[in-house]
Amino acid sequence: MATARCAGVRWWRWRRNPLRRRSDVIEAWVILAGWVLGLVGGLVAGLAAADAIEQSADRQRVERRTVSAVLVEDAKGKVPARAAGDPRVWATVRWTAPDGSTRTGEARVPATSPAGNRVPVWIDKSGHLTAEPLTEGEARAHAAAGGVLVAAGAGGIALAAVSVTRTYLSQRRMEQWAVEWERIDTRWGGKPADPAS
């Protein structure tokens, strides 16, 4: 018996009753639309973000390649690469770009490499130094994390919009109730509220 009464109270915005206002119906639709948009929109946005990250990683694997570069200077005593667990340092290297031109730049190399030593470096299709592309496993992990974050963000924005709309509707409802209570109080012989007080 108590369960049936509770279920009736939960769905009061959707049922006809004399206490239901137009703002209650609007609020019910806003909540429903917000949850649907938050869930479906978040899912679609998350899947799109994950797909974009995987496509970017695939493009990197196609466009980037490793070439052999010559170390211009000794790597000993150079600035560490600062990546956790990375024993490499930054040093100047020289390599040949795809167009045949010789280029120099800073790359991470083993800390004990002497000048003239050959080291592998990654270049993009223009021949500029670049980072090593993500492996398939790393790309999947980045895509999953990015998809989850984007889905949560998109869903959160939709639900935040619902919350703001509900707050506005609740405030309007309270203002309407205040006006109606004042009118009823005046009918029953009460004094109208003094606007100056």
Tens-digit pLDDT profile for residues 32-75: 999 999 999 999 999 999 999 999 999 999 999 999 999 888 87
Compute the mean pLDDT over every residue in the chain, rounded to the nearest whole number: 83
What's the chain's length in residues?
197
Q: What is the pLDDT of residue 1?
A: 46
Q: Global pTM?
A: 0.66
Show the tokens assigned to 88: 């490499």
Q: Which long-range contacts (CB under 8 A, 24 or more apart) does 10-19 make?
A: none
Q: What is the pLDDT of residue 57?
A: 93
Q: What is the pLDDT of residue 106?
A: 87
End-to-end CA, the chain: 49
71 burial type by CB count under 10 A (0-12 exposed, 13-18 middle, 19+ buried): buried
CA distances from 173 to 31, 115, 139, 163 (A): 16, 78, 50, 15
pLDDT tens digit sequence for 73-88: 887 766 676 666 667 8
Q: Block means of pLDDT (10 residues each) for the chain, length 197 residues?
A: 54 68 83 92 95 93 91 76 71 89 88 86 90 90 95 94 91 86 74 56
**Residues 69, 95: Cα–Cα separation, whole Å:** 5
Q: What is the pLDDT of residue 109?
A: 85
